[in-house]
C-alpha cells in the first residue's frame, strides 16, 4: 500500500542541489575547507542557518565560528554533514500544505528527540558518530510530513481513534492508510541516500525489543523518542523526588530502556539539556518562523507515543 500513497503525494521531496553538491565535497578527501565553504555560500540562507547552529549552545564551542571552512576545521566533515542535513530539512518541507497538522510542535518533538539521542550516544564509548543520532532523532517521524501532504486531516483522525479505542497508533495508521509513517519515512530516507544506521533507527523508533548488531543504537533513538515528552522543568514536580528519581519513575514505564546502556543520571542530564536547548536549536534551523495554520488549537499537539495515547 506504500506505492499508492506515494503516488498521491507525487514525487517524494528531493534534497536541495546545494546539499548534494556539498555532501559530495565533504566526502572528497582532497576538497579543501575553503572549497566546501564556497559551495555552501551559494545559498546565503543555508550558510546563515549552519553558522547559527554551530554557534548555538548545543555545540558549546568556546570561540565564535565565522566561516564554513572554519566549521569544517573545528567540527570535522561528518559532523558538518549532519548539521547541513538538519539545516536544509525545514526548507525541504516549507511548501507542504499541513493544514490541521501541528507543525511547530512536530518540530519541537523531533528537535528534543534529536538532542536527547545525541547526548545519550555520547555516553557510549564505542559510538563515534554522535551527530548521526541527532539526525536520526530529527528524522524519526518525517514520514508524517509526507502523509500530511496527502491527507492533512489524517493525523488528528488517527491519533484520536487510537486514544479513544486504546489501540496501537501504528496499527490504526496501517488500517486507515494502508501504510505507517515509519514505512513512508524509510522510503524517503532511502531516496535521499541517508546512511543505514540512521534509517535503521528511524525504522525501529517504535520497537520495544531491539536485537542485532545495531540494538544499542536503535534503543537509544527509541528511548529518546519516549523521553522527549518529559519536562523536568515541570512547575509542580513531586516534592518527595529529586530530578534523577523522577526520571527513574518515568523509565519504569518504558520497556527495555536499559538496552540503551545509559544510566538514569545520564538520561536525566540528556533530558535537561533538551529542555534548555530545543528552542535555540529549532530557531537556528529556521523552524520557529514557519507559517503555522492559526486554526490549529493550542491543545492540538503532536503526540504518537504508544504508551501515552
pLDDT at 135 over 80: yes
Q: Would you say residue 40 lies in a domain?
A: no
Beta strands in the chain (DSSP E): none
Predicted local distance difference test score (pLDDT) of residue 248: 82
Would 138 be classed as within a structural domain? yes
CB contact burial 26-61 (16+ within 10 A = b; e otherwise)? beeeebebebbbebbbebeebbebbbbbbbbebbee
101: left (phi over 0), alpha (psi -120 to 50) or beta: beta
End-to-end CA distance of the chain: 25
Residue 217 is predicted with a pLDDT of 96
Count of domains for the chain:
1
**Given pLDDT bands bounded at 50, 70 and 90, which one contains residue 105?**
confident
Most confident of 9-18, 68-77, 90-99, 204-213: 204-213
User: Mean of the pLDDT values across residues 77-103?
Assistant: 78
Decide if 58 is inside a domain: no
pLDDT exceeds cutoff 80 at 143: yes
The parent domain of residue 241 ranges over: 2-14+96-308
- Average pLDDT on 158-187 reads 91
Residue 182 lies in a domain: yes
Q: What is the pLDDT of residue 219?
A: 97
Does residue 83 form part of some domain? Answer: no
Identify whether 247 is part of a domain: yes
**Does residue 272 surpass a pLDDT of 80?**
yes
Q: What is the pLDDT of residues 51-74, one digit of tens each?
A: 988 898 888 888 899 999 998 888
Q: Is residue 281 part of a domain?
A: yes
The 10s digit of each residue's pLDDT in 156-168 is: 899 899 999 999 9
CATH of the domain at 256: 1.10.3210.10
Look at residue 31 and tell me if it is in a domain. no
Q: What is the pTM of this model?
A: 0.86
Amino acid at each position: 500500500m506504500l506505492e499508492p500513497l506515494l503516488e498521491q503525494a507525487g514525487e517524494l521531496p528531493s534534497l536541495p542541489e546545494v546539499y548534494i553538491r556539498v555532501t559530495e565535497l565533504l566526502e572528497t578527501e582532497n576538497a579543501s575547507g575553503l572549497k566546501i565553504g564556497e559551495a555552501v555560500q551559494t545559498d546565503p540562507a543555508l550558510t546563515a542557518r549552519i553558522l547559527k547552529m554551530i554557534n548555538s549552545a548545543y555545540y558549546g564551542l568556546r570561540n565564535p565560528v565565522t566561516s564554513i571552512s572554519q566549521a569544517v576545521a573545528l567540527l570535522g566533515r561528518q559532523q558538518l554533514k549532519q548539521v547541513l542535513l538538519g539545516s536544509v530539512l525545514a526548507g525541504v518541507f516549507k511548501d507542504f500544505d499541513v493544514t490541521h497538522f501541528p507543525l511547530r510542535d512536530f518540530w519541537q518533538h523531533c528537535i528534543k528527540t534529536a538532542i536527547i539521542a545525541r547526548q545519550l550516544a555520547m555516553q557510549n564509548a564505542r559510538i563515534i558518530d554522535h551527530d548521526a543520532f541527532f539526525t536520526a532523532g530529527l528524522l524519526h517521524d518525517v514520514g508524517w510530513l509526507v502523509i500530511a501532504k496527502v491527507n492533512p486531516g489524517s493525523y488528528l483522525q488517527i491519533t484520536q481513534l487510537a486514544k479513544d479505542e486504546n489501540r496501537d497508533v501504528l496499527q490504526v495508521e496501517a488500517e486507515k492508510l494502508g501504510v505507517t509513517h515509519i514505512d513512508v519515512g524509510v522510503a524517503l530516507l532511502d531516496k535521499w541516500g541517508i546512511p543505514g544506521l540512521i534509517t535503521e533507527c528511524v525504522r525501529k523508533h517504535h520497537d520495544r525489543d531491539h536485537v542485532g548488531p545495531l540494538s544499542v543504537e536503535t534503543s537509544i533513538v527509541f528511548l529518546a523518542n519516549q523521553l522527549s515528552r518529559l519536562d523536568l522543568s515541570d512547575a509542580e514536580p513531586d516534592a518527595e523526588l529529586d530530578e534523577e528519581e523522577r526520571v527513574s519513575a518515568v523509565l519504569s514505564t518504558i520497556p527495555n530502556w536499559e538496552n540503551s546502556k545509559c544510566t538514569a543520571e545520564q538520561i536525566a542530564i540528556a533530558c535537561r539539556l533538551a529542555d534548555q536547548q530545543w528552542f535555540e536549536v529549532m530557531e537556528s534551523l529556521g523552524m520557529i518562523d514557519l507559517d503555522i495554520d492559526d486554526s490549529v488549537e493550542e491543545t492540538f499537539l503532536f503526540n504518537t507515543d504508544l504508551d501515552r495515547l
